Amino acid sequence: MKGTDMQVAIVLYPGFTSLDVIGPYEVLGRLPDTEVVFVAEEPGLVVNDLKSLSINVVATFDDVAEPDVVLVGGGPGQVRQMSSERLLEWLRTVDRTSKWTTAVCTGTFLLAAAGLLEGRRATTHWGALDGLADFGVTPSKERVVIDGHYATGAGVSAGIDMALTLAGLIAGDDVAQAVQLIIEYAPEPPYSAGSVDSAPAAVVERAWKEMSA
C-alpha cells in the first residue's frame, strides 16, 4: 500500500447488490490515506444482481492478504457463495488481522457461514433477519450493529450508515461528518415505507412477492 495507511477490501461475486458495496465505497474511499480495493475469487468483470452493471476486479483473494477493513455486500448471489470454501476461508484468514470485518445486507450471512459471528449480535436485511439465529447469531433490528471488531448494516442503503459509523470510529467524528457533507447524505425520502414497521401492509406484501420471484 504505497502512500496509504489503511486498506479496505470490498468483496464482489456474481449477483451482488450494487448499493451494498458502492455506498460504503463512496464513504470509506474518501477517508484520508485510504486505499479501497475490490477483490474477488477470480479477476475480471463481476456482474450485479440486475445484470446491468459490472465492476472490473483486478485483485484476487491471493493478492489481498491483510486488509485493515473487510466488507462483504449482499445480493441474490450470496446464497451460492455460502458454499464457497475459498471465500469463507479467506474471510476467516483476513479476519485474524483485520481491524474491522464488516457486512451489509445479506452479506452478513457470509460472515456467519464463516463462523465469525457466532455468539455475537448482527443485523441484515429485514427479509432475512430471523435466519441469522441458525448460525448462532443474535439478530438485531438496529440499522447498524457494532459487536467487537464486527460491524453489520441492515438492508442495502444501511451500508452508507454503517460506513459513516465506521468512518467516525476510524478517523474521528469530524472526518466522518465532512465525508457525509461531501456526499450530501441527508436523506428525506418521499415515502415512509423504508421499514416493515412503517410501510403499509399492502406494500410489505408486494415487497415479499417481488423478493420471492
Amino acid at 49: D
Please count the residues of the chain.
Answer: 213
Catalytic residue among 27, 28, 91, 105: 105
Instruction: Give the three-class secondary structure for 100.
Output: strand
Residue 105 a catalytic site member: yes
Angle in degrees, CA 5, 11, 13, rounded to 5: 160
The set of residues, in sequence order, having a beta carbon less than 8 Å from that of 181 and lying 6+ positions away, is none
Question: Is 39 buried (19+), middle (13-18) or exposed (0-12) by CB count in 10 A?
Answer: buried
125, β-bridge pairs: none
State the catalytic residues: 105
